[in-house]
A and B are shown apart, each in its own frame.
Chain A
Amino acid sequence: MGGRGGAATQPGIRVGPTSEFSLFFRVKAGQAQPLRAALLALQDTPGYRPGDYGMAIQTIHEARFVLFDDDTRLAFITSFDGPWDAYMEDFFTSGPTLALFDVIFGHVEGYDGLPDVAAVRAFVLGAEQTAAAYARNYGGTVKEIRTAQRVNAAFQQVLDHPEAAEALQHPALQPLLDEAAV
């Protein structure tokens, strides 16, 4: 496992183009309930709604918030395409992440809020823990996977055509024909 060339300086393990990224926080005293409510509300926003696959940050594969230790701790765990170190400033200054930060991280210790970017940066760096082990079961960036899904949908549509078998006889289409039986 591990990163590609030049990835050595960053926190977070890389598998192919994708990096894991985990943050662990302490929930402020008395904030467990409002935090649960905020996460429940988050689950009902575009991108987080069940069945919705359009998260605002388009380079993220998935993201989860986990409350643990009797709701005294919060973990934020995600995977995204690229070395997270390089994109840190972007995350801290661009819209969707910051909006999220203000809603969720206001309930945890150490977050003093915007607009002090240096403080937000220190806050995140302080909460980051690199995984001890990390594996992925498929390669590819979010962009590549979206393309692959689109192409497969198109291929299935072709196979549903009554003359598909005949159309796929051309030698140039052999690799597609090989994928057509199941």
Chain B
Amino acid sequence: MEGGMENASLELDDIQAGALFERPSPYVGTYLLLRIADRADGRELVRRLHRLAIPASGAGSADDTSITVAFTYRGLEALGVPQTSLDSFAPEFKQGMAARAEILGDTGESGPDHWEKPLGTAEVHVAVAVLSSDEATLQAVAERARDAHAELPGVDLIWRQDCYQLATGRTSFGFKDGIGQPAVEGSGRPPSNPRERPLRAGEIILGYPDETGELPPMPTPPELGRNGTYVVFRKLHTKVAAYRSYLRDRATTRAERDLLAAKMVGRWQSGAPLAVSPDADDPELGSDPRRNNDFLYADDPSGFKCPVGAHARRANPRDALDGEGSVDVRLHRMVRRGTSYGPMLPDGVTEDDGVDRGIIFVFAGAHLKRQFEFVKTQWLNDGIFIGAPLESDPLVGPHHDSTRFTIARRPIRRRLQDLPPFVITRGGEYCFAPGLSALRWLADLDT
């Protein structure tokens, strides 16, 4: 186990920081989407962004600012990446998220027809995330990022989304998020869950062996693929008022409501895991990074502490499925970099105020299909794996057909019926975040 950590030598100088490390909280940020109308200007943009991008080896201090740069398939095409190289990318990346909508459960209100423009269109080429510890620094750096495309008439800013993370780490439904993350071999960061062996680096970063012992399919040439990672971003609107009303109508006391809410997530609002603190919130536990991810589920197969259908348990069942012989949970992990957008709905309000608020969900990993798409389709949208095909994720499932949620409880289980959708997809895209030298390779293309 320890040996693996030493053997793997991740090229931290060449990997974009955002792929591996969370920014210190709190922060404010902006997502920018750009369209490349002119190839030469596009390459000049990449040259300038390359100077601003930050390697994983330089990450970590609270006051710095991080810029992460990623491209869609259309973006790489617009930069003039040769077709043989374009063809070497993952098929899902080539198709783009909108083309995968049916599979992902993004239909109806969440369907690409309803997406916020220009999300899901061929216009989206470059995605830039700028995160900073305070508003003033953010503005200064966003200015620099804007300068990177100003005076470049062949590059258009087509979308901008401000985001932030509260000091508490809480997002719109009131829960602390971003706790459950896999440790990555060679990253130099210890696991937040000491019971789990760090993932082979190739699960997250391209160019290294993954959990199957092989090199994951990597875009060619290696100058482009190596030290890159696939990035998924999704703008997810959260129906906070509907969520609160639903819970209010099913609970007689505040304590009961908080318990139902915690059962749906698998953690209390503070982040304290139900697996460790099943009966009451424990804010100290929730905010203690040495303890708030230190747990497994095998001692609770029926889910009396944490329901088998709770969001976090579905999204990472840890050891709960180890005895089934058909699934290797380590093949379905992901790095998450979610942030909040829109103002929080004030406490206690259960009337919809019509304001758009939610999460910019960000995934980083080497395998779009067996990581992001698998978790979304098999574990969140579908309940076959927990023996409840009719139950999708109570919090984030698409809930097209009336869905229900079963909470194991003695003497009689509790079952919530008719869960409406609480999360609506506003759009998103599959991107590729290259390594730093690959950014230079892109800037220097002469096709």
- Residues in A lying within 8 Å of B, measured CB to CB: 5-6, 8-9, 16-17, 55-60, 80-83, 86-87, 89-97, 115-118, 141-144, 146-147
Contacts and interface: CB of A to CB of B under 8 A. Distances in A.
9 contacts: A6-B102, A6-B104, A57-B324, A58-B325, A86-B370, A93-B211, A93-B328, A97-B325, A143-B386
Shortest Cβ-Cβ A-B pairs, 9 listed: A143-B387, A57-B325, A96-B325, A58-B324, A56-B325, A17-B384, A17-B389, A117-B212, A59-B326
Given A89-B331, A141-B389, A6 B326 contact: no
Nearest to B401: A5
Given A80-B326, A118-B214, A147 B384 contact: no
A57 to B, nearest CB: 4
Given A89-B212, A117-B212, A94 B326 contact: yes
B213 interface: yes
Contacts of B211: 93
A118 B104 CA distance: 26
Contacts of A9: 103
B57 to A, nearest CB: 31
A142 to B, nearest CB: 8
Contacts of A89: 212, 328, 331, 370
Most B CB atoms within 10 A — which of A8, A60, A91, A94? A94
B370 A141 contact: no
Contacts of A82: 326, 378, 382, 384-385
B370 A91 contact: no
A146 B387 CA distance: 10
Nearest to B308: A143
Contacts, number: 82
A101 B176 CA distance: 44
A93 B331 contact: yes
Interface of B: 102-105, 107, 211-214, 323-328, 331, 370, 374, 377-378, 381-382, 384-389
A94 B105 contact: no
Nearest to A118: B214
B328 A90 contact: yes
Given A86-B374, A143-B386, A143-B387, A91 B214 contact: no
Contacts of A144: 387-389
A5 B326 contact: no
A6 B212 contact: no
A58 B213 contact: no
B212 A94 contact: no
Nearest to B381: A6
Contacts of A56: 325
A144 B383 CA distance: 11
A87 B327 contact: yes
A59 B103 contact: no
A81 B325 contact: no
A146 B104 CA distance: 29
B103 A94 contact: no
B309 to A, nearest CB: 13
Contacts of A57: 324-326
Contacts of A142: 387
B378 A86 contact: yes
Nearest to B389: A17
B321 to A, nearest CB: 9
Contacts of A60: 326
B156 to A, nearest CB: 34
Contact of A16 (B324, B378, B389): B389
Contacts of A143: 386-387
B238 to A, nearest CB: 23
Nearest to A114: B213
A14 B435 CA distance: 41
B386 A6 contact: no
A41 to B, nearest CB: 19
B105 A6 contact: yes
A86 B377 contact: yes
Contact of B326 (A16, A17, A90): A90
A142 B115 CA distance: 38
B212 to A, nearest CB: 5
A116 B331 CA distance: 16
Contacts of A97: 325-326
Nearest to B332: A90
A93 B377 contact: no
B212 A5 contact: no
A152 B143 CA distance: 68
